[in-house]
Structure 1
Amino acid sequence: MAFIGIARISFVLLLCIALVGCEANDKVSVVKDPFNAADALAKARGIARGKVDSNVKVFNVLDYGAKADGKTNAAMNFIRTFKAACNFHGNAMMVIPQGNFLIGPVIFQGPCFNPSPLIIQVVGIVKGHPDISEYTGGADASDWITIQSVDGLIITGSGTFDGQGPQVWKYNDCDKNDDCIRMPATLKFNKVSNAVIRGIRSIDAKGFHMFISNSQNFRIFNVHIIAPADSPNTDGIHMSKSSGVKISRSTIATGDDCVSMIQGSKDISIKKVRCGPGHGFSIGSLGHYEDELDVSGIVVKNSTMSDTDNGVRIKTYKASTPSKASGMIFQDIIMYGVRNPIIINQEYGSQSKKEPSKVAISDVHFINIRGTTTSKVAVNLLCSESTPCKGVHLRNINLEYTGEPNSDVAYGSNCTNVDVDYFGIQNPPPCK
């Protein structure tokens, strides 16, 4: 990356040590109430309206010294509040009230003692420290707000996480460097299970808005994720090595993928999401690392896309180690002015590498996709020479070309190293 990080012991880790250590609870066994996603969502709705059960103890960041002036770094105060709520042997809620709060990178570390999901109510505006050198503490402190090793979590409210990305986007060189350093994610969830995220806003992330890794059973509802169309690598929701993630009734308008799913993503459901601008819904890039985990059970359904660079996309690197991506459904999607509506690209990344991708793609369904496109090649299925795509199905594809007139290029499809079955309406015309 263009900036040079200053070697330092992470401020975040110092905070953890000062608060008796991040790992202090790792060996504690906690009895949890059975998690019910519907009940957790109802609770999240009620809390957003100000309805809190009387048996929930409130931990307000103001009571732990945080100043709502938007200038004083309240990272330590936020960590103290979370630790107090997490260590409480009862139902607990951490509250970020009205006001502007500035914080640098923090780690909210579990496991927690609460029998029911720990609640974080966000009402105010939380701003990320704009100094990029604050985020150079290694893998655990390279993101802004990290929540890890928590079983049972509700984040709800009408508040906003402002990453203050415009201050640092100039340092991002990923458009020129395949080995670039990832910019800080706004919310990173690592080893988090049984979670509901509802109602919050994330704007101008430095990197990813949400990063879900090594996690299970996530529900994300009614979130608003916003960044300019030209903001670099500001994926809305990025996930890896996670399963049972459901995203619904949300708006994602960013400078990169609305939702990106890489290795180990399984049983993912995306429904009723408004995407655009951005790079669309992407599976991949796959094959970037050695011995990647397989991807399976991805459903993107009942969603709309507006002015995105891509629509629904599967992308893999060349010269990858063997893995599989299977059982993917893209259904009932409306596109408005989408540049590349339907794509499989197994030649992603460095064009200097000649060895074909070894990611085996199979059982892919594109169903009831309609709207408009600015690309003369609206369906582009470019698969691997050594591992051709199998079981690709296109049913009722109806995309009108609305780009610049060009009589020299026919509107159509491109298919390479792929087995395709067609059903119903096909506009553009199918591959011959």
Structure 2
Amino acid sequence: MAIQSYVGAFLLLLSFSSTINAQVFHIGKYGVKGDGRADISQALLRAWKEACASTTAAKLLIPKGTYALSETVLEGPCKAPVEFQLQGTLRAPADPFRFKTVSWVTFQNIDRLTVSGGGTFDGQGKIAWAQNDCNLNKNCRTLPINLRFNFVSNALIHDVTTLDSKQFHVNVLGCKNVTFQRFTVTAPGDSVNTDGIHIGRSVGVKIIDSNIRTGDDCVSIGDGSQQIFVTRVNCGPGHGISVGSLGKYKNEEPVVGIFVRNCTIIGGTNGVRIKTWPASPVGVASDMHFEDIRMVDVANPVLIDQGYCPWNQCQAQIPSLVKINKVSFKRIWGTSASQVAVKIACSKRVPCDNIEIADINLAYRGPEGPALSECSNVRPLITGRQFPPACAKIAS
């Protein structure tokens, strides 16, 4: 695992370095002005096509200014490393009905991609959030995602912002060796279903030194995710850093190797959690580690929830069949906004195995009394200081 990580870091460094002296494709050369009026999608596609076809490293440059952009797919394979350098602001159509698909900007089938520049992808999601009725309607309309990375490899996304996405801010699918660094997600705490970065069926994704403020999970890790590293991320508001939800669909792939370290979660409805649906097909989630996490007024700071059932749209009485194994929660401290600061609620059918709880110090100062730790269907290894006392309450 360590060797793979070093190789991935070297490839990213090589890719980034190769674009320093790249041929520049300036969007202004394609008749574009940064006045926020005309849609630049056709000009952007022309610039991308030429940059992608370059046999030497290429840089597509969008300078400071505001640019209207409709849904766009930037597709490879490209012949050499390519950098998408956004210095200005790209602005999506505010009306979600103007979208024919569920994506705004998609990077697809590209090796050695860099996205940089200090600019902003503005999804203008306020109208869409008001139209989201998924809490009442199982067949609710799927809204556009700000940024999709589909089957991208050896990529570095750094020093850019995604703002007010209509749905997830970022979706990572089928990718390999992708790093988000100094990446910013910004949306109000009451924005609906606006996960910061969602990862699925991808290997070697790293999120480093980033700030995520949104209305749903700051980071959500779906099935098929392997070797995912979340380090020095500030999360909040939001729903915390989550593995899952898992077990909603048939043929989900295992989740293996999740490492969340040195993060801060402020005011979230959850801290670090693993969530699976009841009545699920058989699944596996293993080798997951949450360490050195600071909580500030977080409800549910530490949570395994194998009865995850939002809006009561499931068969809650049927246990989950997702097997959770080899999980550690270590050196987690701060304040809880609810009395149950640690809750490990595993499945009756497939209890959790190899769970370690070490050095927990979470205080609750509410009217119900001191903080509690509650466990069910698990026999964890407990070490170090424990406040509240680990698994003092055994739930049925």
TM-score, normalized by the shorter chain, greater than 0.5: yes
The residue aligned with 2:33 is: 67
Deviation at 1:89, TM superposition (A): 1.7
The residue aligned with 1:38 is: 13
Q: Which moved more, 1:291-300 or 1:161-170?
A: 161-170
The residue aligned with 1:426 is: 386
- Aligned-partner residue type, residue 390 of structure 1: D
Secondary structure at the aligned position of 1:180 is classed as coil
The residue aligned with 1:211 is: 171
Alignment of 1:91-110 (within 5 A): 91-110=57-76
Secondary structure at the aligned position of 2:74 is classed as strand
The residue aligned with 2:4 is: none
* TM-score, length basis structure 2: 0.93
Deviation at 1:174, TM superposition (A): 2.2
Conservation of the 8 A alpha-carbon contact between 1:35 and 1:194:
no
The residue aligned with 2:107 is: 147
The residue aligned with 1:341 is: 301
The residue aligned with 2:51 is: 85
Deviation at 1:348, TM superposition (A): 1.1
Secondary structure at the aligned position of 1:369 is classed as strand
Tell me which of 215, 229, 232 is aligned to 1:272.
Answer: 232
Conservation of the 8 A alpha-carbon contact between 1:105 and 1:134:
no
The residue aligned with 2:6 is: none
Tell me which of 340, 357, 361 is aligned to 2:324.
Answer: 361
| Runs of 4+ that moved beyond 4 A | 41-44
Secondary structure at the aligned position of 2:64 is classed as coil
Conservation of the 8 A alpha-carbon contact between 2:362 and 2:371:
no
Tell me which of 256, 259, 280 is aligned to 1:299.
Answer: 259
The residue aligned with 2:3 is: none
Identity over the aligned pairs, expressed in percent? 41
The residue aligned with 1:113 is: 79
The residue aligned with 2:243 is: 283
Secondary structure at the aligned position of 1:77 is classed as helix
Q: Using the alignment, how far apart are the partners of 1:92 and 1:41 within structure 2?
A: 11
The residue aligned with 1:29 is: none
**How many corresponding residue pairs?**
381
The residue aligned with 1:405 is: 367
Q: Could you give the per-residue CA deviations for residues 40-73 of structure 1, whole angstroms, max 9, x where no partner exists? A: 45678xxxxxxx41xx211112212223121211
Q: Using the alignment, how far apart are the partners of 2:380 and 2:175 within structure 1?
A: 34
The residue aligned with 2:148 is: 188
Conservation of the 8 A alpha-carbon contact between 1:126 and 1:162:
yes
Q: Using the alignment, how far apart are the partners of 2:319 and 2:86 within structure 1?
A: 47
Distance 1:94 1:323, change over 3 A: same
Secondary structure at the aligned position of 1:251 is classed as strand
In the alignment, does 2:213 pair up with 1:238? Answer: no
Deviation at 1:351, TM superposition (A): 4.9
Q: Using the alignment, how far apart are the partners of 1:172 and 1:65 within structure 2?
A: 37
Deviation at 1:170, TM superposition (A): 1.1
- Aligned-partner residue type, residue 268 of structure 1: I
Q: Which moved more, 1:127-136 or 1:333-342?
A: 127-136
Name stretches of at least 5 consecutive residues in structure 1 with no aligned partner.
Answer: 1-33, 45-51
Secondary structure at the aligned position of 2:151 is classed as strand
Q: Using the alignment, how far apart are the partners of 1:303 and 1:281 within structure 2?
A: 10
Q: Using the alignment, how far apart are the partners of 1:234 and 1:418 within structure 2?
A: 32
Q: Could you give the per-residue CA deviations for residues 14-64 of structure 1, whole angstroms, max 9, x where no partner exists? A: xxxxxxxxxxxxxxxxxxxx97223445678xxxxxxx41xx211112212
Q: Using the alignment, how far apart are the partners of 1:74 and 1:373 within structure 2?
A: 47
The residue aligned with 1:6 is: none
Alignment of 1:155-234 (within 5 A): 155-234=115-194
Name stretches of at least 5 consecutive residues in structure 2 with no aligned partner.
Answer: 1-8
Let me know the Cα RMSD of the aligned residues.
Answer: 1.6
Q: Using the alignment, how far apart are the partners of 2:65 and 2:92 within structure 1?
A: 14
Q: Using the alignment, how far apart are the partners of 2:367 and 2:13 within structure 1?
A: 50
The residue aligned with 2:96 is: 132
